[in-house]
């Protein structure tokens, strides 16, 4: 057994870690203590004399030097802000996030001598840092334990129980599995998830992720994420959850203790009422494509817009046109506005373009206004050109060299619009670029591990 404890200071990592190591008769490593021993200074002195940057450098060195094998490891509160640390800590380990409410944290650390990171009063500092770090904590964990009203003994026993038999009963797993068997996904998919959840010698610590959609039998996400999990030695399995009813999908997610989900058509909006938290970007776009579940709570976010923003980052402040007014168009408008572009929405049904532009405070126009707008950047957010369709949403005469054409359609990668734009001498960005980048951002939310988009591209080939 190899368990890593992460979380804010005052959540009990050191005491719980020591007890847990004792119960399991394995070595205990406390990275803060290791830093102090090697520097022959207290953490307070390192911060005061050498600054936070030097502390983080020492922390990285200590984490990189942790020996492999059975152990309990307690980490400093900010360790998981570095994706390199997360990658190392996750290898072959089960990661537990210890949480506590702000008042409990304040009570526990009030009288200890620790460096202030913000110079704010203690309660404000706790609030501020928790807000900044929340996503990183949620991503890096396999299991989340609320320690607010528990003592270290109780928490260590709870972790011990999870390590011995997982977090949900066999009865609940079976209930979830029953729905999956009847969901219409392929026999091979059913066999694999059955083995992970219910098989003989099942590893109850394997965390399960899924694509949620209807239908989602053709999604390539399971193949991609399972490859990523095995490359980064994360004990996890990615499957498919499909049903016409979002309520059924959410219930099964609870029964099988789902750790994270990619959300696709038709649930990107429908899932929102079932979530406990919605991040700012997903709220503004009005759609969720990523959910993480931790400690009985669900957290929704959107990485689609990052997949559009990334390849266009060098065209800040351009004049842009978005074709379409659906979900992908909303993510596109949000991304382009984040790059301070002047955006106009053009759509087949003018009412929908008007609605979308009113939501984001941008312009809208009929499709016939394209030439007059003379855009520098064009994003196609309609399905025109998607297999088996062979059309292009624009005519050859409308495309010019100097334009940047981003076609979000990714099947086929080379659409009629892309071919036409190339012939006109325009710069092109193909749909898979968006998929790859949103997937990299999603894997980061799922695991805290940062993977270069190029690596994902190569894994999909
Ligand atoms: P959606 O919500 O159904 O919206 C589709 C939009 O396209 C609507 O505004 C619709 O216009 C317009 N449209 C549909 N057929 C059209 C046609 N024949 N001519 C002109 N306009 C047409 O779909 P979505 O979820 O936004 O997805 C749109 C496309 O984005 C998808 O087909 C997919 O290829 C792409 N996408 C790519 C990625 C990626 O990772 N690369 C991710 C998500 C989506 P009306 O309002 O007039 O109906």
Give the residue, by CA position, lying nearest to ligand 1 atom 33: 409
Residue range 345-371, pLDDT digits in tens: 999 999 999 999 999 999 999 999 999
Q: In three state form, how does the secondary structure of the chain look?
A: CEEEEECCCCCCHHHHHHHHHHHHCCCEEEHHHHHHHHHCCCHHHHHHHHHHHHHHHHHHHHHHCCCCCCEEEECCCCHHHCHHHHHHHHCCCEEEEEECCHHHHHHHHCCCCCCCCCCCCHHHHHHHHHHHHHHHHHHHCCEEEECCCCCHHHHHHHHHHHHHHCCCCHHHHHHHHHHHHCCCCCHHHHHHHHHHHHCCCCCCCCEEEEEEECCCCCCCHHHHHHHHHHHCCCCEEEEEEECCCHHHHHHHHHHCCCCEEEECCCCCCCCHHHCCEECHHHHHHCCCCEEEEECCEEEEECCHHHHHHHHHHHHCCCEEEEECCCHHHHHHHHHHHHCCCEEEEECCCHHHHHHHHHHHCCEEECHHHHHHHCCCEEEECCCCCCCCCCCCCCCHHHCCCCCEEEECCCCCCCCHHHHHHHHCCCEEECHHHHHHHHHHHHHHHHHCCCCCHHHHHHHHC
Residues framing ligand 1 (Cβ under 6 A)? 304, 307, 324-329, 347-349, 352, 381-384, 386, 393, 408-410, 431, 434-435, 438
Return the pLDDT at 129: 93
CA of 435 from ligand 1 middle (Å) equals 15
- In this model, does residue 115 exceed pLDDT 80? no
Return the pLDDT at 391: 96
* Ligand 1 pocket mutation, candidates 321, 331, 382, 392, criterion most atoms within 8 A of CB: 382
Question: What mean pLDDT is reported for the chain?
Answer: 95
Task: For the chain, give every residue range classified as CATH 3.40.50.720.
Answer: 312-435
CATH architecture observed for domain 2-165: 3-Layer(aba) Sandwich (3.40)
CATH architecture observed for domain 312-435: 3-Layer(aba) Sandwich (3.40)
Return the pLDDT at 461: 83
Task: For the chain, give every residue range classified as CATH 3.40.50.10860.
Answer: 170-302
pTM (2 decimals)?
A: 0.94
Domain range 170-302, its CATH number among 3.40.50.10860, 3.90.1330.10, 3.40.50.620, 2.40.50.140: 3.40.50.10860
Residue range 397-441, pLDDT digits in tens: 999 999 999 999 999 999 999 999 999 999 999 999 999 999 999
Give the residue, by CA position, lying nearest to ligand 1 atom 46: 349
């Amino acid at each position: 057994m190899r368990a890593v404890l992460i979380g804010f200071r005052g959540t009990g990592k050191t005491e719980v870690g020591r007890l847990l190591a004792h119960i399991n008769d394995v070595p205990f490593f406390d990275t803060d203590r290791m830093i102090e021993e090697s520097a022959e200074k207290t953490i307070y002195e390192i911060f005061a004399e050498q600054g936070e940057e030097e502390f983080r450098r020492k922390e990285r060195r200590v984490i990189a030097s942790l020996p492999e094998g059975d152990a309990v490891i307690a980490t400093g509160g900010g360790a998981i802000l570095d994706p390199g640390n997360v990658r190392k800590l996750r290898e072959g380990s089960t990661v537990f996030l210890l949480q506590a409410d702000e008042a409990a944290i304040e009570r526990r650390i009030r009288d200890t001598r620790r460096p202030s990171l913000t110079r704010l009063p203690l309660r404000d500092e706790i609030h501020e840092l928790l807000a900044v770090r929340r996503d990183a904590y949620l991503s890096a964990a396999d299991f989340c334990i609320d320690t607010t009203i528990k003592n270290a003994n109780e928490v260590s026993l709870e972790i011990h129980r999870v390590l011995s038999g997982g977090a949900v009963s066999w009865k609940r797993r079976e209930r979830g599995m029953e729905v999956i068997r009847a969901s219409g996904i392929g026999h091979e998919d059913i066999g694999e998830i059955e083995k992970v959840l219910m098989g003989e010698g099942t590893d109850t610590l394997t965390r399960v992720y899924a694509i949620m959609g209807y239908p989602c039998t053709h999604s390539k996400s399971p193949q991609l994420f399972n490859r990523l999990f095995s490359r980064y030695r994360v004990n996890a399995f990615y499957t498919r959850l499909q049903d016409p009813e979002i309520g059924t999908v959410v219930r099964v997610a609870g029964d099988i203790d789902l750790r994270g989900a990619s959300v696709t058509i038709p649930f990107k909006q429908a899932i929102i009422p079932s979530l406990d938290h919605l991040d700012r970007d997903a709220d503004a776009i009005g759609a969720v494509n990523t959910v993480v579940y931790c400690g009985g709570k669900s957290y929704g976010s959107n990485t689609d817009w990052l997949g559009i923003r990334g390849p266009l980052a060098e065209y800040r402040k351009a004049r842009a046109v978005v074709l379409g007014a659906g979900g992908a168009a909303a993510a596109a408008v949000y991304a382009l506005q984040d790059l301070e572009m002047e955006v106009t929405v053009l759509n087949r049904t003018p009412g929908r373009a008007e609605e979308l532009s009113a939501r984001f405070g941008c312009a809208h126009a009929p499709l016939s206004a394209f030439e007059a707008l003379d855009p520098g950047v064009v994003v196609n957010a309609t399905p025109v050109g998607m297999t088996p369709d062979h059309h292009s949403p624009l005519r050859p005469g409308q495309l010019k060299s100097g334009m940047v054409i981003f076609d979000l359609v990714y099947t086929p990668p080379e659409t009629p619009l892309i071919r036409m734009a190339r012939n006109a001498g325009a710069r092109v960005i193909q749909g898979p670029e968006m998929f790859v980048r949103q997937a990299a951002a999603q894997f980061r939310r799922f695991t805290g591990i940062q993977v270069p988009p190029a690596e994902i591209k190569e894994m999909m080939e």
